[in-house]
Structure 1
């Protein structure tokens, strides 16, 4: 009976020693959190293994994450994967649809991004854009002749227009001369001219007798203005002027009119014709309504692969610029050890208990073996 008690006692002592030793070893992974000193002497095994090696652990974890876990190649495969592409496309379509259906006016939308916009600002921006476009275009066209810029169709129209202009001028002059007002004005001009000629003018008026000069001259002027020869002369003169104008460089006309005048006039003409205030009051939904389906179903699915491909091609550079290993290292170094212990124990509490029990089991078996050896030796 004493032999059985001896073996049982040694088994209990061995099991206690094995269990306590393993439990203490697990505790010493984390505890104590700080070094314990007796005067200038630091107790061995303080602090615990993880607190003592936290900086080194942080450095190694940073390298492991970048080199083996969160690698550029792995991220590229994930980004370029079909499943990820589909998820991004669905997400983008949902978010874009929300944005396109917004009731915010265009002006409110700009204000939400802290961008002040009103009619005057838009007009100034449009006028400035037109001015830049005009100057850019004229830099290339100032030395070109007008006939080289106008198409043959436009030149033919201009030539036909000169003939029509000649008829129009002749018709208007004829209407003026045959009117009472026109006759009186021409008569007044002739009388004034003859009065200024002195003796010669008086002599001519004396030949006319009581009849005014205009009464004699007016029918002749009217016939001359209405004559075909006058029409042909006007047409010939206008054709000559047109050919001269077509052979002039564009810069010649710009100089005559004034570059600033043209640029300002174009800007004013365009900005005043645009319903800017109405546009600013329209909602985003109204602006995008005609293109809503096309944007959601065509544009977004087409842009997502391009965007993900661009992201994939730049992911390595981005990771290098972000220094992920340093970020992980800093986070681990600043991590509270007690919180880390709590997390590890929450995850592995059962396994640690099994290790403690295994230590007790092995200690108990060793105790039984020792008891048997003691009996045989003793």
Structure 2
């Protein structure tokens, strides 16, 4: 038996086995495009993965949707992964940083909307004009909506009671202030002038005789105690309260349209503009207040109550709408498009990077098997020869 023939068979078989395995591995990815000789396409071109990219993309999308990224898996992950605590912790950090900021709210608004303020520091026309138009439209809608309603219908029972109490207080206050005025030097002078006018100007002969014998001081001394007693009497206070109450009832029975006509629409519009200016002024003061001062009254409640509730609500809402979200997202289509657009070179690099050692072992195994086959062939050829 010729040993050289056996060695030659082993070498040839080993080379054929190794090169064949290496070529098979390469043909998974190469060539990227079909090869043509004239109009005839060379078989097995392009490689397996490039030629079946569309099928692979569809199968990958189906795999991800049906087995990897499922709605049940997402719900289970949201429940068991502590996502709610993580979300609450993140929200707490954000809220704490925001509420402890010593800068004014104006700074945050400028970062979000640079053109929100004008050069003087007030609201820009882009912000102020639409709001003012909405305010005027709101006033007009309100007046039109309540035009036929009386003021009595618009005031609650508690408001009516407070109005009645206020009228009683006003009646007592008026009588008290009138008594204080009569006992003041200015009030006594006014009363004295009235007495002099009565006795001197319109009293006739009787008035002249009374003024001659009594005098102004004596008349005031007699008149003031009676006036003071009259102003102290509950009956006068009750009568004044009843008078004010009757007048208020007349006003309450008028509808809004009558009140607006009585005041004049120009006056109502002026009041609306004045109120808008006051609100605008207050809003500018508000935005110039530091965030820490604005949020100080409710910082603790935000951290201990609001944030956990919002985090819990968000997780529960997400769990309830996972299926709807997945339907809207169309996970299968997304994965399919991503795989279709993924470069083959990058896929080859990833696969070789992960399985390079195994591919080399397949090549080595091809050399070994090819050598064994060559040895067997050499032995059989020598035995049969």
TM-score class, shorter: 0.7 to 0.9
Partner of 2:324: 317
| Cα gap change, 1:11 to 1:321, in 2 (>3 Å) | same
Q: Quick one: distance in 1 between partners of 2:150 and 2:298?
A: 37
Q: Quick one: distance in 1 between partners of 2:223 and 2:128?
A: 53
| Cα gap change, 1:244 to 1:299, in 2 (>3 Å) | same
Say which SS state the counterpart of residue 336 (structure 2) adopts: helix
1:63-104 CA-to-partner distances (Å, cap 9, x unmatched) read: 221222122221222222243333333333333333334343
User: Contact 2:150/2:254 (CA < 8 Å) preserved in 1?
Assistant: no
The alignment yields a C-alpha RMSD, in angstroms, of 4.5
Partner of 2:240: 238
Say which SS state the counterpart of residue 361 (structure 1) adopts: helix
Q: What's the offset of the Cα at 1:18? A: 1.5
| Cα gap change, 1:156 to 1:109, in 2 (>3 Å) | closer
Partner of 2:72: 73
2:83 paired with 1:84: yes
Gaps of 5+ in 2: none
Query: 1:347 is matched with which residue: 347, 354, 357?
Result: 354
Q: What's the offset of the Cα at 1:145? A: 8.0
Say which SS state the counterpart of residue 179 (structure 1) adopts: helix
Gaps of 5+ in 1: 195-203
Partner of 2:101: 102
User: Contact 2:200/2:207 (CA < 8 Å) preserved in 1?
Assistant: no
Matches within 5 A, 1:327-346: 327-346=334-353
Q: Quick one: distance in 2 between partners of 1:261 and 1:63?
A: 66
Matches within 5 A, 1:90-239: 90-114=89-113, 116-117=116-117, 128=135, 142-144=151-153, 148-150=157-159, 155=164, 158-159=167-168, 161-169=170-178, 172=181, 179-184=188-193, 205=204, 225-226=227-228, 228=230, 231=233, 234-239=236-241
Q: TM-score, normalized by length of structure 2?
A: 0.74
Q: Quick one: distance in 2 between partners of 1:146 and 1:336?
A: 74
Between 205-214 and 81-90, the greater mean CA deviation after superposition: 205-214
Partner of 2:294: 287
1:223-282 CA-to-partner distances (Å, cap 9, x unmatched) read: 7644539956633432322443565674638654859379649937974995x5554333
Number of aligned positions between the proteins: 363
Say which SS state the counterpart of residue 34 (structure 2) adopts: coil
2:275 paired with 1:267: yes
